[in-house]
Amino acid sequence: MQLHITQKFPGVVRLKLLGQEDEQEDANSYIPLSRFINVIERAKTVSSYTFPQLMCAIQTACKSISIALRKCGISQMLTLDIDKNLKYLEINRMEKYFNELFINLISNSYTSCLIACKDNDEIIRVDHEHAGKYIVLFSTTDVSRSVDSSLCIGTTFALYRKRGSTKVEDKDVLQPGYKMIAGGYALYGISTVMVIAFEGGSVNSFTLDNSIGEFMLTEENLKIPKSGDIYSANEGNIQSWDANLVDYLDKKKSAKGLHPWSSRYIGSLVGDVHRTLKFGGVYFYPPSKENPNGKHRLIYECNPLAFVITQAGGIASNGKMPIINLVPEKINEKTPFYCGSHDDMEELLKALSP
């Protein structure tokens, strides 16, 4: 059987049968995430097997969460046998199970030295025999109420290198987002999608093919639209927002002589940001009376999402400076979060600082 090789992005080839119909190309030429990662690693001046191995652990964890959400019955979800003594915050048993799953897979991949997750008060040090050179920060579920109400939920993750070759310290997790080597999220909904950005590279989207159990490349070199007509925000807090932000939003909603903006907000951080990435516009969770420093965690949620948005050509900010330039001071630090299309964000940030 004769094959023809087509080049779709640097270093990676796709195979298709000679004479294959054009409309069938996409369905027959998907690239598995594992192969995509291996190609990126081989393109580096100095490469090793450890980064693909770490990414394999992360995608396995995301697959497992997807399967659990899709297949576990209600009774199973409510009776998971989880150690009550684990030092997690007050979250339900299913979330504890997901956290433990992530931690076990990453710590046993022989690639990481420090692991930190949103729902754990302490940083996890991987024992010397299993330790590697990477630092992994993650949040397995962005909002528990989405699970209870059958809405989409998301996992966010950020990967860093440890600082130097000397002794690892807990403070090494407090790195600014621009030092990330890879970051992204998985979104569990009608389908399971993983969006990943790499340092100095592009943003690519992979969809879980349940028939073969693999994440397959479905969108490469994702770019956020330059502008959009959708805003995503919890307007229940609007009474305590900055007056300049309220004025900006009022103008966008009225838009005399122009197309007025529409509101789309489901309360799932990953879901709302993913829609913004795909269709443009802005997402924001500003300071409010209830949350004066914002609601979202800087190192677990905002940094990986900001990394994706920035690599895709958008802007992510705390209202004063780029999110990925912020230097974290503590692991559970929160920050105001604004992100979205380049032109829309420039206008929003200008409105915040008249």
pLDDT at 152: 85
User: Could you give the CA distance from residue 145 to residue 128 in angstroms, rounded to a whole number?
Assistant: 38
Residue 122 makes CB contacts below 8 A (sequence gap 6+) with 87
pTM of the complete model: 0.86
Average pLDDT, the chain: 84
CATH number 3.40.50.300 given to 31-219: no
**CATH 3.40.190.80 domain locations along the chain:** 230-352
pLDDT at 259: 82
Each residue of 150-186: pLDDT tens digit? 678 899 999 999 887 678 888 999 999 999 999 999 9
Mean pLDDT, residues 341-345 taken together: 97
Each residue of 52-65: pLDDT tens digit? 999 999 999 999 99
Pick the CATH number of 230-352 from 3.40.190.80, 2.60.120.260, 3.60.15.10, 3.30.2130.10: 3.40.190.80
Whether the CB-CB separation of 118 and 96 falls below 8 Å is answered with: no
Question: Mapping DSSP to helix (H, G, I), strand (E, B) and coil, where does residue 79 land?
Answer: coil
Which of 179-183, 265-269, 344-348 comes out lowest in average pLDDT?
Answer: 265-269
**CATH 3.30.540.10 domain locations along the chain:** 31-219
Question: Mapping DSSP to helix (H, G, I), strand (E, B) and coil, where does residue 193 land?
Answer: strand
Q: What secondary structure letter does DSSP report for 140?
A: S
pLDDT above 50: residue 197: yes
> 14-45 burial, b if ≥16 CB within 10 A, otherwise e?
bebeeeeeeeeeeeebbbbbeebbbbbbeeee
pLDDT at 255: 72
pLDDT at 107: 94
Element (H, E) at 283: strand 282-285
Q: What are phi and psi of 255, to 5 degrees?
A: 45, 60
**Sheet with 282-285, side-by-side order of all strands:** 262-263, 230-232, 282-285, 337-340, 315-317
DSSP letters of 221-237? S----S--SEEE--GGG
Which tokens belong to 234? 């919890």
Residues forming beta bridges with residue 138, ordered by sequence position = 117, 157
CA 280, distance to chain mean position in Å, is 17
Alpha helices by DSSP H, listed for 143-220, are: 144-148
CA proximity to 283, closest of 270, 297, 301, 292: 270
Each residue of 14-27: pLDDT tens digit? 433 334 444 444 54
Whether the CB-CB separation of 240 and 291 falls below 8 Å is answered with: no
Whether the CB-CB separation of 38 and 30 falls below 8 Å is answered with: no
